[in-house]
A and B are shown apart, each in its own frame.
Chain A
Amino acid sequence: MSERLDNQSPELFGQTPWQTVGPFFHYGLPWKGGADLVSASELGARAELFPAEHYLLHVAQARGPVKGRVIELHGRVLDAKGQPVPDAMIEIWQANAAGRFVRDEGDSFLGFGRSSTSREGEYRFRTIFPGRVQEQAPHIAVSVFGRGLIKRLVTRVYFAGEASNEGDAILALVPEARRGTLIAAKDDHGYRFDVELAGDRETVFFDL
Protein backbone atom coordinates (compact mmCIF):
# COMPACT_ATOMS: atom_id res chain seq x y z
CA MET A 1 0.00 0.00 0.00
CA SER A 2 1.53 3.28 -1.02
CA GLU A 3 1.45 6.07 1.58
CA ARG A 4 1.57 8.87 -0.93
CA LEU A 5 -1.65 9.79 -2.72
CA ASP A 6 -1.73 9.12 -6.44
CA ASN A 7 -4.03 8.48 -9.36
CA GLN A 8 -5.24 5.20 -7.87
CA SER A 9 -6.10 6.54 -4.39
CA PRO A 10 -9.85 6.00 -3.83
CA GLU A 11 -10.13 9.08 -1.60
CA LEU A 12 -8.90 11.27 -4.48
CA PHE A 13 -11.29 9.93 -7.12
CA GLY A 14 -12.65 12.74 -9.29
CA GLN A 15 -12.07 14.76 -12.45
CA THR A 16 -8.60 14.46 -13.89
CA PRO A 17 -7.13 18.00 -13.85
CA TRP A 18 -6.47 19.95 -17.04
CA GLN A 19 -2.92 20.67 -18.18
CA THR A 20 -1.62 22.69 -21.11
CA VAL A 21 -0.89 21.12 -24.51
CA GLY A 22 2.46 22.93 -24.33
CA PRO A 23 4.32 24.13 -27.44
CA PHE A 24 5.25 20.76 -28.97
CA PHE A 25 1.88 19.13 -29.79
CA HIS A 26 2.18 19.38 -33.58
CA TYR A 27 3.45 15.82 -34.13
CA GLY A 28 0.78 14.46 -31.77
CA LEU A 29 -2.55 16.20 -32.41
CA PRO A 30 -3.34 18.21 -35.56
CA TRP A 31 -3.62 15.71 -38.39
CA LYS A 32 -3.56 16.43 -42.14
CA GLY A 33 -7.11 17.27 -43.11
CA GLY A 34 -8.33 17.80 -39.58
CA ALA A 35 -9.43 21.32 -40.43
CA ASP A 36 -11.18 20.36 -43.69
CA LEU A 37 -14.70 19.14 -42.92
CA VAL A 38 -15.71 19.17 -46.58
CA SER A 39 -13.10 17.44 -48.72
CA ALA A 40 -9.71 15.73 -48.51
CA SER A 41 -6.78 18.13 -48.03
CA GLU A 42 -3.92 18.66 -45.59
CA LEU A 43 -5.57 21.63 -43.88
CA GLY A 44 -4.96 21.87 -40.14
CA ALA A 45 -1.56 20.21 -39.71
CA ARG A 46 1.89 21.82 -39.45
CA ALA A 47 4.05 18.95 -40.62
CA GLU A 48 6.96 21.33 -41.36
CA LEU A 49 7.66 21.50 -37.62
CA PHE A 50 9.18 18.01 -37.41
CA PRO A 51 10.97 15.54 -39.73
CA ALA A 52 8.74 13.86 -42.31
CA GLU A 53 9.58 10.35 -41.07
CA HIS A 54 8.03 11.31 -37.74
CA TYR A 55 4.65 12.17 -39.24
CA LEU A 56 2.63 9.26 -37.79
CA LEU A 57 -0.70 11.07 -37.50
CA HIS A 58 -3.76 10.29 -39.57
CA VAL A 59 -4.18 11.59 -43.10
CA ALA A 60 -7.84 12.33 -43.78
CA GLN A 61 -9.35 10.46 -46.71
CA ALA A 62 -11.94 11.64 -49.21
CA ARG A 63 -15.45 11.53 -47.84
CA GLY A 64 -18.86 11.31 -49.49
CA PRO A 65 -20.98 14.25 -50.55
CA VAL A 66 -21.58 16.97 -48.00
CA LYS A 67 -24.77 19.04 -47.96
CA GLY A 68 -24.94 22.75 -47.37
CA ARG A 69 -23.11 25.98 -48.16
CA VAL A 70 -19.32 25.61 -48.00
CA ILE A 71 -17.64 28.36 -46.01
CA GLU A 72 -14.15 29.10 -44.78
CA LEU A 73 -13.91 29.98 -41.12
CA HIS A 74 -10.62 31.63 -40.34
CA GLY A 75 -8.98 34.15 -38.09
CA ARG A 76 -6.12 34.81 -35.74
CA VAL A 77 -5.41 33.97 -32.12
CA LEU A 78 -3.97 37.01 -30.34
CA ASP A 79 -2.56 37.49 -26.86
CA ALA A 80 -3.06 40.34 -24.36
CA LYS A 81 -0.55 42.52 -26.23
CA GLY A 82 -2.16 41.88 -29.61
CA GLN A 83 0.67 39.55 -30.63
CA PRO A 84 -0.21 36.48 -32.73
CA VAL A 85 -0.09 33.13 -30.93
CA PRO A 86 1.75 30.69 -33.23
CA ASP A 87 1.52 27.67 -30.93
CA ALA A 88 -2.22 27.48 -30.39
CA MET A 89 -4.76 24.96 -31.63
CA ILE A 90 -8.46 25.47 -32.35
CA GLU A 91 -11.13 22.79 -32.35
CA ILE A 92 -14.67 23.22 -33.63
CA TRP A 93 -17.88 21.26 -33.11
CA GLN A 94 -20.97 22.15 -35.07
CA ALA A 95 -24.23 20.86 -36.50
CA ASN A 96 -24.69 19.89 -40.14
CA ALA A 97 -26.79 21.92 -42.58
CA ALA A 98 -29.92 20.33 -41.12
CA GLY A 99 -28.98 21.32 -37.56
CA ARG A 100 -27.99 17.81 -36.52
CA PHE A 101 -24.81 16.42 -34.92
CA VAL A 102 -24.77 13.01 -36.59
CA ARG A 103 -24.12 11.90 -40.14
CA ASP A 104 -27.45 12.02 -41.96
CA GLU A 105 -28.60 9.88 -44.86
CA GLY A 106 -26.99 11.33 -47.99
CA ASP A 107 -24.85 13.79 -46.04
CA SER A 108 -21.33 12.73 -45.01
CA PHE A 109 -20.73 15.84 -42.94
CA LEU A 110 -19.60 15.41 -39.34
CA GLY A 111 -18.90 18.66 -37.55
CA PHE A 112 -15.63 18.12 -35.68
CA GLY A 113 -12.42 19.82 -36.82
CA ARG A 114 -8.97 20.73 -35.54
CA SER A 115 -6.53 23.36 -36.78
CA SER A 116 -3.16 24.44 -35.49
CA THR A 117 -2.28 28.13 -35.80
CA SER A 118 0.38 29.31 -38.23
CA ARG A 119 3.47 31.37 -37.48
CA GLU A 120 1.18 34.39 -37.86
CA GLY A 121 -1.32 32.96 -35.40
CA GLU A 122 -3.83 32.07 -38.12
CA TYR A 123 -6.19 29.12 -38.18
CA ARG A 124 -8.39 28.05 -41.06
CA PHE A 125 -11.30 25.62 -41.43
CA ARG A 126 -13.23 24.56 -44.50
CA THR A 127 -16.69 23.65 -43.32
CA ILE A 128 -20.36 24.21 -44.08
CA PHE A 129 -22.66 26.87 -42.71
CA PRO A 130 -24.36 25.19 -39.74
CA GLY A 131 -28.11 24.73 -39.56
CA ARG A 132 -30.08 25.92 -36.57
CA VAL A 133 -30.04 23.61 -33.54
CA GLN A 134 -33.44 23.71 -31.88
CA GLU A 135 -34.20 27.41 -31.34
CA GLN A 136 -30.58 28.57 -31.43
CA ALA A 137 -29.05 30.82 -34.06
CA PRO A 138 -26.46 29.15 -36.33
CA HIS A 139 -23.27 28.75 -34.30
CA ILE A 140 -20.05 26.78 -33.99
CA ALA A 141 -18.64 25.69 -30.60
CA VAL A 142 -14.93 26.46 -30.27
CA SER A 143 -12.17 25.20 -27.97
CA VAL A 144 -8.86 27.07 -27.79
CA PHE A 145 -5.68 25.28 -26.67
CA GLY A 146 -2.05 26.35 -26.60
CA ARG A 147 1.14 26.96 -24.73
CA GLY A 148 0.22 29.17 -21.78
CA LEU A 149 -3.36 27.92 -21.73
CA ILE A 150 -3.47 25.59 -18.74
CA LYS A 151 -6.99 24.58 -19.70
CA ARG A 152 -8.94 25.13 -22.88
CA LEU A 153 -10.99 28.24 -23.40
CA VAL A 154 -14.50 27.74 -24.78
CA THR A 155 -16.29 30.20 -27.01
CA ARG A 156 -18.82 30.25 -29.86
CA VAL A 157 -18.84 31.61 -33.38
CA TYR A 158 -22.05 33.30 -34.52
CA PHE A 159 -22.49 34.81 -37.97
CA ALA A 160 -22.94 38.44 -38.98
CA GLY A 161 -26.23 39.19 -40.69
CA GLU A 162 -28.21 36.32 -39.17
CA ALA A 163 -31.58 37.60 -38.04
CA SER A 164 -31.90 34.72 -35.56
CA ASN A 165 -28.95 36.07 -33.54
CA GLU A 166 -31.47 38.45 -31.94
CA GLY A 167 -33.39 35.64 -30.26
CA ASP A 168 -30.49 33.36 -29.34
CA ALA A 169 -30.65 32.31 -25.68
CA ILE A 170 -26.88 31.98 -25.27
CA LEU A 171 -26.05 35.32 -26.91
CA ALA A 172 -28.66 36.89 -24.63
CA LEU A 173 -26.53 35.88 -21.62
CA VAL A 174 -23.63 37.96 -22.94
CA PRO A 175 -23.56 41.70 -22.07
CA GLU A 176 -24.46 43.61 -25.21
CA ALA A 177 -21.20 45.54 -25.29
CA ARG A 178 -19.21 42.28 -25.61
CA ARG A 179 -21.57 40.35 -27.88
CA GLY A 180 -19.73 41.53 -30.98
CA THR A 181 -16.66 39.47 -30.05
CA LEU A 182 -18.73 36.35 -30.86
CA ILE A 183 -19.93 37.47 -34.29
CA ALA A 184 -17.82 36.39 -37.26
CA ALA A 185 -17.55 39.01 -40.00
CA LYS A 186 -18.24 38.06 -43.60
CA ASP A 187 -15.27 38.46 -45.95
CA ASP A 188 -14.07 37.24 -49.35
CA HIS A 189 -13.10 33.83 -47.94
CA GLY A 190 -16.16 33.18 -45.82
CA TYR A 191 -16.16 34.32 -42.24
CA ARG A 192 -13.46 35.82 -40.09
CA PHE A 193 -13.36 35.23 -36.34
CA ASP A 194 -10.39 36.41 -34.28
CA VAL A 195 -9.80 34.99 -30.81
CA GLU A 196 -8.40 37.61 -28.46
CA LEU A 197 -7.27 35.80 -25.33
CA ALA A 198 -7.11 39.03 -23.31
CA GLY A 199 -7.06 42.76 -23.89
CA ASP A 200 -9.44 45.55 -24.87
CA ARG A 201 -11.52 43.42 -27.19
CA GLU A 202 -11.19 40.20 -25.23
CA THR A 203 -13.30 37.39 -26.69
CA VAL A 204 -16.16 36.20 -24.51
CA PHE A 205 -15.32 32.79 -23.04
CA PHE A 206 -17.86 30.47 -21.48
CA ASP A 207 -18.12 28.33 -18.39
CA LEU A 208 -20.12 25.23 -19.33
Chain B
Amino acid sequence: MARTMTRTTTTADEAPPHAPEDAGQPPSLFPPYRSTVDRSPRQPLIEIPQTLTERTGPAENLMGPARADLTTQHAGVPIGQRIVVSGRVLDEQRRPVASTVMEIWQANAAGRYIHVADQWNAPIDPNFTGAGLVVTDAEGRYQYTTIRPGAYPWGNHENAWRPAHIHLSLLGPAFATRLVTQMYFPDDPLIEIDPIAGAVPEPYRQRMVARFDIATTRASFALGYLFDVVLRGHAATPFEDRHE
Protein backbone atom coordinates (compact mmCIF):
# COMPACT_ATOMS: atom_id res chain seq x y z
CA MET B 1 0.00 0.00 0.00
CA ALA B 2 1.35 3.40 -0.94
CA ARG B 3 1.95 5.12 2.38
CA THR B 4 4.51 7.47 0.89
CA MET B 5 4.35 10.35 -1.52
CA THR B 6 7.15 12.17 -3.21
CA ARG B 7 7.58 15.51 -1.55
CA THR B 8 9.97 17.96 -3.13
CA THR B 9 9.70 20.82 -0.67
CA THR B 10 9.40 21.33 3.04
CA THR B 11 7.24 24.29 3.93
CA ALA B 12 7.00 26.25 7.16
CA ASP B 13 3.69 24.57 7.99
CA GLU B 14 5.09 21.08 7.34
CA ALA B 15 4.25 18.59 10.07
CA PRO B 16 4.79 14.85 10.50
CA PRO B 17 2.04 12.25 9.91
CA HIS B 18 -0.14 10.96 12.72
CA ALA B 19 -0.50 7.40 13.98
CA PRO B 20 -3.41 5.34 12.66
CA GLU B 21 -6.49 4.54 14.75
CA ASP B 22 -5.75 2.17 17.62
CA ALA B 23 -7.69 -0.95 18.66
CA GLY B 24 -9.97 1.12 20.90
CA GLN B 25 -11.74 2.96 18.11
CA PRO B 26 -15.29 1.83 17.32
CA PRO B 27 -16.47 0.62 13.89
CA SER B 28 -18.78 2.79 11.77
CA LEU B 29 -21.33 -0.02 11.45
CA PHE B 30 -22.59 -1.27 14.81
CA PRO B 31 -26.14 -2.65 14.32
CA PRO B 32 -27.12 -2.52 18.03
CA TYR B 33 -26.98 1.28 17.49
CA ARG B 34 -29.71 1.15 14.87
CA SER B 35 -29.05 4.44 13.10
CA THR B 36 -25.64 3.17 11.96
CA VAL B 37 -27.24 0.62 9.63
CA ASP B 38 -28.36 3.12 6.97
CA ARG B 39 -25.64 5.63 7.70
CA SER B 40 -22.37 3.73 7.44
CA PRO B 41 -20.41 2.81 4.32
CA ARG B 42 -20.45 -0.75 3.01
CA GLN B 43 -17.30 -0.37 0.91
CA PRO B 44 -13.97 -0.61 2.72
CA LEU B 45 -12.22 2.66 3.51
CA ILE B 46 -9.39 3.49 1.13
CA GLU B 47 -6.11 3.97 2.91
CA ILE B 48 -4.29 7.15 1.91
CA PRO B 49 -1.07 8.78 3.06
CA GLN B 50 -1.39 11.97 5.09
CA THR B 51 -0.46 14.82 2.80
CA LEU B 52 0.09 18.38 3.97
CA THR B 53 -3.72 18.74 3.90
CA GLU B 54 -4.21 16.08 6.58
CA ARG B 55 -1.15 17.09 8.60
CA THR B 56 -2.26 20.68 9.11
CA GLY B 57 -5.22 22.37 10.76
CA PRO B 58 -6.40 25.88 11.65
CA ALA B 59 -3.72 27.48 13.81
CA GLU B 60 -6.18 29.80 15.50
CA ASN B 61 -9.45 29.52 17.39
CA LEU B 62 -12.34 30.25 15.03
CA MET B 63 -15.07 29.33 17.53
CA GLY B 64 -14.88 32.44 19.71
CA PRO B 65 -13.87 33.11 23.31
CA ALA B 66 -13.97 30.51 26.08
CA ARG B 67 -17.24 29.77 27.88
CA ALA B 68 -15.85 27.70 30.74
CA ASP B 69 -18.69 28.10 33.27
CA LEU B 70 -21.95 26.61 32.03
CA THR B 71 -23.68 27.44 35.32
CA THR B 72 -23.54 31.25 34.96
CA GLN B 73 -24.84 31.78 31.44
CA HIS B 74 -28.32 32.94 32.43
CA ALA B 75 -30.02 35.08 35.09
CA GLY B 76 -30.56 32.30 37.62
CA VAL B 77 -28.73 29.28 38.98
CA PRO B 78 -29.36 26.04 37.07
CA ILE B 79 -30.83 23.07 38.90
CA GLY B 80 -28.68 20.02 39.55
CA GLN B 81 -25.36 18.81 40.93
CA ARG B 82 -22.62 21.33 40.19
CA ILE B 83 -19.39 19.70 38.95
CA VAL B 84 -15.92 20.82 37.87
CA VAL B 85 -14.32 18.76 35.11
CA SER B 86 -10.54 19.08 34.73
CA GLY B 87 -7.95 17.33 32.66
CA ARG B 88 -5.36 17.54 29.96
CA VAL B 89 -5.39 17.08 26.23
CA LEU B 90 -2.40 14.94 25.29
CA ASP B 91 -1.10 13.11 22.26
CA GLU B 92 -0.20 9.42 22.31
CA GLN B 93 3.36 10.27 23.35
CA ARG B 94 1.95 12.12 26.38
CA ARG B 95 2.91 15.48 24.96
CA PRO B 96 0.49 18.26 25.85
CA VAL B 97 -1.72 19.60 23.08
CA ALA B 98 -1.64 23.33 23.79
CA SER B 99 -4.09 26.03 22.64
CA THR B 100 -6.59 23.60 21.23
CA VAL B 101 -10.34 24.17 21.33
CA MET B 102 -12.63 21.76 23.18
CA GLU B 103 -16.31 22.34 22.51
CA ILE B 104 -18.76 21.00 25.09
CA TRP B 105 -22.49 20.25 24.90
CA GLN B 106 -24.82 18.25 27.10
CA ALA B 107 -28.33 17.71 28.46
CA ASN B 108 -29.50 19.35 31.68
CA ALA B 109 -29.79 17.68 35.11
CA ALA B 110 -33.07 16.03 34.07
CA GLY B 111 -31.56 14.61 30.89
CA ARG B 112 -33.31 17.10 28.59
CA TYR B 113 -31.56 18.89 25.72
CA ILE B 114 -32.37 22.47 24.80
CA HIS B 115 -33.38 21.35 21.30
CA VAL B 116 -36.76 21.18 19.53
CA ALA B 117 -36.08 17.62 18.41
CA ASP B 118 -35.77 16.43 22.03
CA GLN B 119 -39.32 15.44 22.86
CA TRP B 120 -38.67 13.72 26.17
CA ASN B 121 -41.09 14.87 28.84
CA ALA B 122 -38.51 16.12 31.32
CA PRO B 123 -38.27 19.78 32.35
CA ILE B 124 -36.26 22.36 30.45
CA ASP B 125 -34.12 24.49 32.74
CA PRO B 126 -34.32 28.12 31.57
CA ASN B 127 -31.04 28.77 33.37
CA PHE B 128 -29.10 26.06 31.60
CA THR B 129 -28.13 25.78 27.94
CA GLY B 130 -25.41 23.15 28.23
CA ALA B 131 -22.96 24.60 25.68
CA GLY B 132 -19.37 25.51 26.59
CA LEU B 133 -15.94 26.00 25.12
CA VAL B 134 -12.47 25.83 26.64
CA VAL B 135 -9.00 26.32 25.17
CA THR B 136 -6.10 24.27 26.56
CA ASP B 137 -3.13 26.07 28.15
CA ALA B 138 0.55 25.47 27.42
CA GLU B 139 0.47 22.19 29.41
CA GLY B 140 -2.67 21.05 27.62
CA ARG B 141 -4.81 21.69 30.72
CA TYR B 142 -8.46 22.66 30.68
CA GLN B 143 -11.22 23.02 33.26
CA TYR B 144 -14.92 23.81 33.11
CA THR B 145 -17.80 24.06 35.53
CA THR B 146 -21.19 22.59 34.69
CA ILE B 147 -24.15 20.59 35.97
CA ARG B 148 -24.01 16.82 36.00
CA PRO B 149 -26.30 15.76 33.13
CA GLY B 150 -29.10 13.28 33.65
CA ALA B 151 -29.73 9.99 31.84
CA TYR B 152 -32.57 9.97 29.29
CA PRO B 153 -34.63 7.49 27.27
CA TRP B 154 -34.27 7.19 23.50
CA GLY B 155 -35.95 5.22 20.75
CA ASN B 156 -33.18 2.82 19.79
CA HIS B 157 -34.83 -0.24 21.34
CA GLU B 158 -37.36 -1.18 24.00
CA ASN B 159 -36.65 0.67 27.27
CA ALA B 160 -33.41 2.18 25.97
CA TRP B 161 -31.68 4.78 28.16
CA ARG B 162 -28.53 6.73 27.45
CA PRO B 163 -26.07 6.88 30.34
CA ALA B 164 -25.34 10.40 31.58
CA HIS B 165 -22.71 11.93 29.29
CA ILE B 166 -21.06 15.14 28.15
CA HIS B 167 -20.29 15.58 24.43
CA LEU B 168 -16.78 16.82 23.62
CA SER B 169 -15.40 18.00 20.28
CA LEU B 170 -11.69 18.69 19.69
CA LEU B 171 -9.77 19.83 16.63
CA GLY B 172 -6.23 19.13 17.81
CA PRO B 173 -3.29 20.32 15.72
CA ALA B 174 -4.27 18.75 12.39
CA PHE B 175 -7.12 17.49 10.23
CA ALA B 176 -5.96 13.98 11.17
CA THR B 177 -6.34 14.56 14.92
CA ARG B 178 -10.02 15.56 14.92
CA LEU B 179 -11.99 13.88 17.72
CA VAL B 180 -15.57 13.87 18.92
CA THR B 181 -16.29 11.77 21.99
CA GLN B 182 -18.56 11.48 25.02
CA MET B 183 -17.46 11.55 28.64
CA TYR B 184 -19.28 9.18 31.00
CA PHE B 185 -19.49 9.07 34.79
CA PRO B 186 -18.12 6.37 37.13
CA ASP B 187 -20.48 3.76 38.55
CA ASP B 188 -23.19 4.35 35.94
CA PRO B 189 -24.89 0.97 35.32
CA LEU B 190 -26.26 2.23 31.97
CA ILE B 191 -22.82 2.34 30.32
CA GLU B 192 -22.55 -1.42 29.86
CA ILE B 193 -25.98 -1.71 28.24
CA ASP B 194 -25.63 1.37 26.01
CA PRO B 195 -25.09 0.57 22.31
CA ILE B 196 -23.23 3.83 21.65
CA ALA B 197 -20.63 3.40 24.42
CA GLY B 198 -20.82 -0.33 23.62
CA ALA B 199 -19.53 0.23 20.09
CA VAL B 200 -16.15 0.70 21.76
CA PRO B 201 -14.66 -2.68 22.70
CA GLU B 202 -13.56 -3.40 26.24
CA PRO B 203 -11.36 -2.48 27.97
CA TYR B 204 -11.01 0.69 25.82
CA ARG B 205 -14.59 1.74 26.64
CA GLN B 206 -13.35 2.66 30.11
CA ARG B 207 -11.16 5.37 28.56
CA MET B 208 -14.38 7.39 28.29
CA VAL B 209 -15.24 7.10 32.00
CA ALA B 210 -14.20 10.08 34.13
CA ARG B 211 -12.79 9.61 37.63
CA PHE B 212 -14.20 11.29 40.71
CA ASP B 213 -11.45 13.34 42.34
CA ILE B 214 -11.54 14.80 45.85
CA ALA B 215 -8.49 16.99 45.17
CA THR B 216 -10.32 19.04 42.53
CA THR B 217 -13.62 18.91 44.42
CA ARG B 218 -14.32 22.41 45.73
CA ALA B 219 -15.49 22.60 49.31
CA SER B 220 -19.13 23.63 49.62
CA PHE B 221 -19.29 24.23 45.86
CA ALA B 222 -18.82 21.42 43.35
CA LEU B 223 -17.72 17.80 42.87
CA GLY B 224 -14.51 17.28 40.88
CA TYR B 225 -14.02 14.86 37.98
CA LEU B 226 -10.86 14.16 35.98
CA PHE B 227 -10.89 13.45 32.27
CA ASP B 228 -7.84 13.41 30.01
CA VAL B 229 -8.32 13.37 26.25
CA VAL B 230 -5.73 11.59 24.11
CA LEU B 231 -5.46 12.55 20.43
CA ARG B 232 -3.62 10.67 17.71
CA GLY B 233 0.13 11.24 18.08
CA HIS B 234 2.92 11.08 15.56
CA ALA B 235 3.50 7.75 13.87
CA ALA B 236 7.27 8.04 13.93
CA THR B 237 10.03 10.61 13.98
CA PRO B 238 9.29 13.55 11.70
CA PHE B 239 12.09 12.52 9.38
CA GLU B 240 11.37 8.85 8.93
CA ASP B 241 9.12 9.26 5.93
CA ARG B 242 11.88 11.01 4.05
CA HIS B 243 13.96 7.82 3.94
CA GLU B 244 12.01 6.56 1.00
Task: List A residues at the B interface (Cβ < 8 Å).
Answer: 2, 4-9, 12-29, 31, 34, 48-51, 53-54, 56-60, 79-81, 83, 85, 87, 91, 93-95, 100-102, 110-112, 133-136, 139, 141, 143, 145-153, 169-170, 173-174, 178, 197-198, 202-208
Contacts and interface: CB of A to CB of B under 8 A. Distances in A.
Given A7-B207, A141-B54, A24 B35 contact: no
Interface in B202-226: 203-211, 226
A20 B40 CA distance: 12
Given A6-B206, A101-B52, A204 B43 contact: yes
Contacts of A133: 51-53
Contacts of A58: 62-65
B115 interface: yes
B25 A141 contact: no
Given A17-B207, A174-B46, A28 B230 contact: no
A12 B207 contact: yes
B24 interface: yes
A22 B6 CA distance: 39
B175 interface: yes
Interface of A is mostly: loop
A153 B28 contact: yes
Interface string B100-133: 0001110100000111111000000010011100
Contact of B167 (A22, A53, A202): A22
A7 B210 contact: yes
A16 B228 CA distance: 8
9 contacts: A7-B206, A7-B211, A9-B206, A16-B230, A19-B196, A93-B175, A101-B56, A150-B27, A202-B41
Interface in B1-48: 2, 5-9, 11-13, 18, 20-22, 24-28, 30, 33, 35-43, 45-48
Nearest to B1: A173
A58 B61 CA distance: 11
Contacts of A59: 64
A31 B197 CA distance: 27
Contacts of B104: 28
B53 A136 contact: yes
B164 interface: no
B38 A4 contact: no
Q: Which 9 A-B pairs have the closest CB atoms?
A: A28-B105, A58-B64, A148-B35, A148-B39, A207-B45, A5-B206, A19-B182, A112-B58, A80-B38
B180 A152 contact: yes
A15 B92 contact: yes
B40 A21 contact: no
Contacts of B60: 110
